Chain A
């Protein structure tokens, strides 16, 4: 790995290299109604003067944790509206220029996730210019900072298209009950206090920042021009992902019953092992939890199957990310088709031998909507994940994961032709998931798509210098 100097952290928007660890977020989806007022706001939000206008947070270390943090993401239409010259707009990667809705086939956004079915605020991508994300310790602080953003230019700068609030669940869980946000890239030269032991190689900052060495040897993504606009920038695939929790839980029950009724329970889980779990549970519930673990690669407690194939009970929290699949070639502990192994094969053997570690992305998702209530499974309320997927190349990282690995399984011939069971573009007629058991396997079939895309946009996260540049444009 080429060792490069640590980038200027004061020039990089926060939440890219290190997470904010805040429990509340508000994503304001905005249309620029007065470009001059919007540019003025960008200057104010990067001025360092904290009175009045909330400041865009940087990666620079702070001595006192701020109550709110702010990020600004811009679509191609937003950059154009701010006055970026056409010759410079053409230097952005074509997938960003096309926008997320145009990439639907590649992303698996078909059927119920087809952009034609997306929510109203995403139906006209030309009106989606800016997504301002406010991260806060409390809903009150989020409300205050969000209002200050909307007041920009005496309220003339932006028209609010949508306001999407996310709130962390206790224990860092998400709607399907999994503990999330455990594995993130560890960047070379960047210290993050919450970094867990991780036997994967350190990741070059060029995986998420433009203008730096990428994880692919001798490859650098082209920096949009002028350089002060593109350098140290990043991309965010922002996705609103509705989750069908009731259907997911039904699938777990049906699969558990199938395994039990066919006398396969003792093949996948040693008899009575569930009595040693903390807390102990029934054999049927244990089967449900095992299926949930097998399709994800972790128990819902976050414990990786690679370290603990028969128990979800956390042994050592520090070990949650310190594992590999090198000794689990056939996926007997963690199936090859499980979600986390598909998205990040670590050092597993894969077909594309040079790409094991080259598609790492940063995830900063937050649940939205009320938790699923099993006693009222059909409450009619929407719930899901506000997904933030950060990388330096949308096409080489985010889209490549979505297309080749999640929705095709190209990385291993034993899963090629199948989709990720948790988030993949599944249809009951074709879906399947294989749980290897000894020299045999259990095939789960007939499940539908549990996650529907209902909106989203490709956003550019400019550096602080770039935001100032945008604020000072005179088109």
Chain B
């Protein structure tokens, strides 16, 4: 069944006018002192360079069930190449593709630097991503092999923002749930998708170290 959704304008107005006072306040805060969030500083602490998360949320150009089916088919058609490629990247613990609402998502846990990881992507299965980019909203230029920087920038822009460290410390005023810190509100305003925390059953180990320890060829 093809679902019908309200137009983008109607969605926008609905989202903003539910609590118009709050929305206006956020816009005022943003205007007065915008929060800038350098990705590198927020995402990685020294020594915290293994088992990184990539939560890639790619809005589909066609969010209908037909569009979602096309995205599922594109993944299915390339799944062998993707898994072989991930194996060759060598630094990947887990990776999976999900359809969540109108988004095609790739969630993965990898070791090392995100941009190195993405460049390895390009070299091992760039053609697969080129095919996927045909299905997403406002895609980067393709082929990604000829535009690696633009591709990586696009991926980083669609990777859920990660709040590292002590999330509870972001909310120092425990007694008043309504009193949300301005910085947190502005951060969420800037980043619709946010990772709030992660758990590891074997911290500080690389994918290759786990494979070596468990007798799987690395």
Contact = CB atoms under 8 A, between A and B. Distances in A.
Given A413-B212, A413-B218, A352 B120 contact: yes
A231 to B, nearest CB: 15
B150 interface: yes
Contacts, number: 96
A220 interface: yes
B187 interface: no
A413 B115 contact: no
Nearest to A108: B46
Interface string B129-146: 000000000000001011
B123 A416 contact: no
Interface string A81-120: 0000000000001100000000001100010000000000
**Interface centre among B49, B126, B204, by most A CB within 10 Å?**
B49
A410 B212 contact: no
A351 B208 contact: yes
A105 B46 contact: yes
Contacts of A110: 46
B123 A417 contact: no
B116 A106 contact: no
A410 B148 contact: no
B116 A403 contact: yes
Nearest to B148: A219
B126 A351 contact: no
Contacts of A216: 119, 122-123
B73 to A, nearest CB: 25
B126 A218 contact: yes
Interface in A200-240: 216-222
Interface residues on A, range: 20 to 34
B217 to A, nearest CB: 10
B116 A404 contact: yes
Interface in A329-343: none
Interface in A391-409: 395-396, 399-400, 403-404, 408
**Interface centre among A106, A354, A410, by most B CB within 10 Å?**
A410
A417 to B, nearest CB: 7
Contacts of B120: 352, 354-355
Nearest to A359: B116
Contacts of B111: 410, 416
B88 A416 contact: no
A65 interface: no
Interface string B31-43: 0000000001100
B145 A218 contact: yes
